[in-house]
Structure 1
Amino acid sequence: MSHSETRTAASADTASAAASASTQCDILFRNAFVIDGSGADPVPADVAVRGGRIAAVGDLAAWQAGHVVDASGKVLSPGFIDVHTHDDTNVIRTPDMFPKLSQGVTTVVVGNCGISAAPVSLRGEPPDPMNLLGKTEAFSYPTFASYVEAVNAARPAINVAALVGHTALRNNHMDRLDRAASTEEIDGMRAQLRESLEHGALGLSTGLAYGNAINAPTAEVLALSEPLAEFGGMYATHLRSEFADILDAMDEAFRIGKHARVPVVISHLKCAGVENWGRSAEVLKALELASQHQHVGCDCYPYTASSSTLDLKQVTDTYDIQVTWSEPHPEQGGKMLAAIAGEWQVDLHEAARRLMPAGAVYHCMSDDDVNRILSHPASVVGSDGLPNDPLPHPRLWGAFPRVLGYYSREQKLFSMAVAVRKMTGLSAERFGLHQRGFVRAGYWADLVLFDAATVRDAASFTDPMQPAHGIEQVWVNGVLAYRGGELKQATGERAGRFLARPKSEPKAA
């Protein structure tokens, strides 16, 4: 063989080896129905995963893998993104995160409703509703950077992104929370917010309906929000009212977003209270009008009941209220407030006073309003689950499969592709989660394999801690985390990580 022929043969061998290497992957899903998170209809395709990322999508007959998954007859979609959670301390204390993995969730956004685990320095018991995140010992992150470090050290099974809570900041800088903050206190809060944004926080959240934030005037939040635009942050808010004054509360949120020049997300948008039922069209119209001038959206959960701490302002005899826990009267957990009041021979408000601090589920919404808000193009899905509640609202375990099974497949409120988009691609875009939320080459391999014919929630109000049906496998950053009803972390390999807001993200207009 001549030198020329030798060189040609060597080049051919090199090209063959390169081609072979380019079609090698770690995991190969074959024959899946891919719903890619964009809202496009399902397409039959193979999906290759290499190095924790999606390497290719399409007809991959020539590809080979160390692990092949036969996905015939099943849907492969992006892992679900729970944009509204209170898992702040649980991702560290209970990093297996079974309630989320078992319903296909691969990423959670924490720090909602003005309450966050960081930055927090307590001088006693956590103020309501920060107590939803745990007791005093759960708050050990005086800086946002220390929280990020703790999340990464815990190696949770799912990814974590975080907002900074307004009430948490107030707790750090004010001697009491039943008043407006002073200029000096706002300056202290702004400095902590800026430090948090520098370390990857997504933005600021408020819970202006709660007793420890309701006395914060709009001017306080306007001033606090001013550093957000510089970092490409966002503003998420539990409105000052979800009842009769909801439109005024929405106007306040839009005003804050305009002032700060950042996107606004209205948390768990709802029409709460019997007298408010039927107003969802009017509420959504206000959202649409605002969207003509600024970036606005909302999240919602697929239930007609809310859950939080027991709040005297929400105590009424017009809908059922279930007490989920009570510090002074733990024996009353699980009972209806009306039944407790009858047992004690007092009115509802007196019974609630005796029970507090306590938690409650409020059956305060109508099906028509939930359907209209959930199906609106501006809405994404968040569970708002309370993982420290001994009798949690079933949304903690069932929100995402409920959207797929009950609302999409059974009620036909929207297609399965639209349902997935509301839980993946649109959520990633709304919250700035880079290279997440889509089944696309180059994106991180957060994936869920589910049976579209059987997927559904199993959790109920009386038996809420039940994993969903039809979620077959869940992969986080290319690592199998859940299969067939069981966590797959026998080696201790949990692949979640903290997701910092990308520094290169453009500033909001």
Structure 2
Amino acid sequence: MHVDRIIANAVLVDGTGRPPFRGALAVSGERIAGVGALEGWTADTVCDAGGKVLAPGFIDAHTHDDAALLEGLLEPKISQGVTSVVTGNCGVSLAPLALGPGEALPAPLDSVADRKWFRFERFADWLEALRAAGTSTNVVPLIGHGTLRVKVMDALDRPATEAEIAAMEALVDEAMAAGAFGVSSGLFYPLAAAAPASEVVRLARRAAAAGGLYTAHLRDEADAVVAALEEAIAIAAEAGLPLVVSHHKVSGARNHGRSTETLALIARAAQRQPVYLDAYPYTAGSTTLNERSWAAASRTLITWCAARPELAGRDLAEVARELGLSEVEAIRALRPAGAVYFMMDESDVERILCCPATMIGSDGIPADRHPHPRLWGSFARVLGHYSRDRGLFPLEEAVHRMTGLTAARFGLAGRGVLAEGAQADLVMFDAREVREVATFADPRRPSAGIAWVMVNGVTVWEEGRATGARPGRIAERRREAA
């Protein structure tokens, strides 16, 4: 057999959870042509991996990359081995929403993209723009409930009317036909907080009819986390589709340790219906600057501020003192803005990461002036800190949570595993050296130990820099997620 490329002398971690094994991998065009000994095979190019790990490209289960995909090469992701991104999470998708002159952009839409990018009347229009621009990663798109409310409603502080729900249902149908994988919600945010569960059920049913899933940023992740989790489970059950609990956490000091309660609830629900979750590997979260998140945090760090851009990266308490205001008064004075909130306990983070249903998602926000380091470091941190250094799970399990598990849950066709015929989305890394380098003080730093990254058979990251290639695709969806 003659192929385009053979990567020999590699430690293959195939994404299934199977233990690593020595061997070679062959690539022909955009697909994997063979995996194993490959004796007698020839290639135009033979690469000696030198004992480095070769794995499927990582799939970021939770992103806000909708606009960043159009703006550039998505270096925060490809630099850490991510080859596919799930967009439109937390009820916030770039499409379908075209803003008129002077039309307000409510939070959190204003935190994930500049208003100039909200120019797509249909979900299909955004997907076509992605195809025309070219992307450095594959895209797994979701349509956001919050975005739909902004598009069809004249006021967001109430439930949608029957006519408005019907309009949103039609938009979900259009998005699913165009290539969306499901519906996301963010009932935590003001633009959707007034929506009853029944409103979300109606939209989730439209996604279910097309074989999609439902992802949920819970209505509350602090004191009322259990009730909010029960609501999301009930919505998915009534609509008849799989649920992904977004960036699962328990926030605030008085809730530390309650992951034992929430994970038990998820496990019980999973016996009746498909329930999964994603998580990022940090004890701090990030979202809009708001009193509710601030109240659950021990420290708040400003990530962006429209009126005072120079405050990005500054501690809120310090800024409030300089302004002669209380922290709550400073929050109100500085908005619109974003922040990092130190509000979780390490034991909860580790317990959630160890849950068999947990996929890895960065939840990074590329638009932030001073982003949370999870944007650049999540996947390398799982491999280095949590798998190698902390020993929470073996390397093959860490890779599985970033690849095969996510591909199965989202119903991605031909991705997430090293297997003949699969798409050649690949990452090579040094298992001894891989680690996150991004920090809260200096968050825009590529991870260490990533040798190169390939998307659909084309190298996108090599020798510490992007190649400039944009071989990404809109991912294909199987009829049902696993």
TM-score band by shorter chain is: over 0.9
- Which amino acid in 1 is paired with 2:439? S
Corresponding position: 1:324 with 2:300? no
In structure 2, the partner of 1:93 is 71
In structure 2, the partner of 1:501 is 477
For 1:276 and 1:415, locate their aligned partners in 2 and report how far apart those are by CA, in whole Å: 29
- Which amino acid in 1 is paired with 2:4? D
In structure 2, the partner of 1:214 is 193
For 1:157 and 1:215, locate their aligned partners in 2 and report how far apart those are by CA, in whole Å: 37
Q: TM-score, normalised by structure 2?
A: 0.98
For 1:332 and 1:477, locate their aligned partners in 2 and report how far apart those are by CA, in whole Å: 40
Corresponding position: 1:78 with 2:56? yes
Q: Check 1:154–1:318 CA distance in 2 against 1; reply closer, same or farther (3 A cut).
A: closer
Shift of 1:331: 2.9
Q: Check 1:312–1:416 CA distance in 2 against 1; reply closer, same or farther (3 A cut).
A: same
For 2:375 and 2:208, locate their aligned partners in 1 and report how far apart those are by CA, in whole Å: 32
**Which residue of 21, 28, 32 maps to 2:10?**
32
Q: Check 1:131–1:227 CA distance in 2 against 1; reply closer, same or farther (3 A cut).
A: same
For 1:317 and 1:246, locate their aligned partners in 2 and report how far apart those are by CA, in whole Å: 12
- Uncovered stretches (5+) of structure 2, i.e. residues with no partner: none
> Counterparts in 2 of 1:278-357, with a 5 A limit?
278-316=257-295, 319-357=298-336
For 2:473 and 2:296, locate their aligned partners in 1 and report how far apart those are by CA, in whole Å: 45
Give yes or no for contact 1:375–1:413 (8 Å, CA) kept in 2.
yes
In structure 2, the partner of 1:403 is 382
Shift of 1:330: 2.3
Give yes or no for contact 2:6–2:46 (8 Å, CA) kept in 1.
yes
For 2:176 and 2:211, locate their aligned partners in 1 and report how far apart those are by CA, in whole Å: 9
Moved more, 218-227 or 468-477: 218-227
Q: Check 1:396–1:506 CA distance in 2 against 1; reply closer, same or farther (3 A cut).
A: closer
Corresponding position: 1:394 with 2:357? no
Give yes or no for contact 2:81–2:453 (8 Å, CA) kept in 1.
yes
After superposition, the C-alpha distances for 1:326-377 in whole angstroms (9 at most, x for unaligned) are 1122232221111112122221110110110111000000100000001110
**Which residue of 239, 245, 248 maps to 2:218?**
239
- Which amino acid in 1 is paired with 2:143? V
In structure 1, the partner of 2:455 is 476
Secondary structure of 1:60's counterpart equals coil
In structure 2, the partner of 1:270 is 249
- Which amino acid in 2 is paired with 1:53? R
- Which amino acid in 2 is paired with 1:208? L
Q: TM-score, normalised by structure 1?
A: 0.93
- Which amino acid in 1 is paired with 2:7? F
For 1:501 and 1:317, locate their aligned partners in 2 and report how far apart those are by CA, in whole Å: 38
**Which residue of 15, 18, 21 maps to 1:43?**
21
Secondary structure of 2:92's counterpart equals coil
Shift of 1:150: 0.7
Moved more, 358-367 or 60-69: 60-69
Shift of 1:31: 1.1
In structure 1, the partner of 2:465 is 486
In structure 2, the partner of 1:105 is 82
Secondary structure of 1:324's counterpart equals strand
In structure 1, the partner of 2:164 is 185
Moved more, 31-40 or 224-233: 224-233
Secondary structure of 1:225's counterpart equals helix
- Which amino acid in 2 is paired with 1:114? G
Shift of 1:176: 1.3
Give yes or no for contact 1:126–1:135 (8 Å, CA) kept in 2.
no
For 2:208 and 2:445, locate their aligned partners in 1 and report how far apart those are by CA, in whole Å: 41
Secondary structure of 2:97's counterpart equals coil
For 1:244 and 1:263, locate their aligned partners in 2 and report how far apart those are by CA, in whole Å: 25
Q: Check 1:395–1:186 CA distance in 2 against 1; reply closer, same or farther (3 A cut).
A: same
In structure 1, the partner of 2:107 is 128
In structure 1, the partner of 2:116 is 137
- Quote the RMSD (CA, aligned, Å): 1.2
Shift of 1:126: 1.9
4+ runs of 1 displaced by more than 4 Å? none
Give yes or no for contact 2:411–2:481 (8 Å, CA) kept in 1.
no
- Which amino acid in 2 is paired with 1:501? R
Secondary structure of 1:226's counterpart equals helix
Shift of 1:61: 2.4
Shift of 1:316: 2.9
In structure 2, the partner of 1:14 is none
Q: Which has the larger radius of gyration?
A: 1
**Which residue of 135, 141, 150 maps to 1:156?**
135
For 2:386 and 2:481, locate their aligned partners in 1 and report how far apart those are by CA, in whole Å: 36
- Which amino acid in 1 is paired with 2:62? H
Shift of 1:223: 1.7
After superposition, the C-alpha distances for 1:418-441 in whole angstroms (9 at most, x for unaligned) are 000000000000111111000000
Moved more, 311-320 or 411-420: 311-320
- Which amino acid in 2 is paired with 1:479? V
In structure 1, the partner of 2:409 is 430
Corresponding position: 1:460 with 2:439? yes
Give yes or no for contact 2:9–2:23 (8 Å, CA) kept in 1.
yes
Shift of 1:72: 2.0
Secondary structure of 1:497's counterpart equals coil
Shift of 1:135: 2.1
Moved more, 324-333 or 396-405: 324-333
Corresponding position: 1:258 with 2:234? no
For 1:107 and 1:304, locate their aligned partners in 2 and report how far apart those are by CA, in whole Å: 24
For 1:352 and 1:132, locate their aligned partners in 2 and report how far apart those are by CA, in whole Å: 15
The percentage of counterpart residues that share the same residue type is 46
For 1:224 and 1:475, locate their aligned partners in 2 and report how far apart those are by CA, in whole Å: 36
In structure 1, the partner of 2:181 is 202
Corresponding position: 1:66 with 2:74? no
For 2:460 and 2:264, locate their aligned partners in 1 and report how far apart those are by CA, in whole Å: 41
Give yes or no for contact 1:28–1:48 (8 Å, CA) kept in 2.
yes
Shift of 1:318: 5.4
Give yes or no for contact 2:93–2:144 (8 Å, CA) kept in 1.
yes
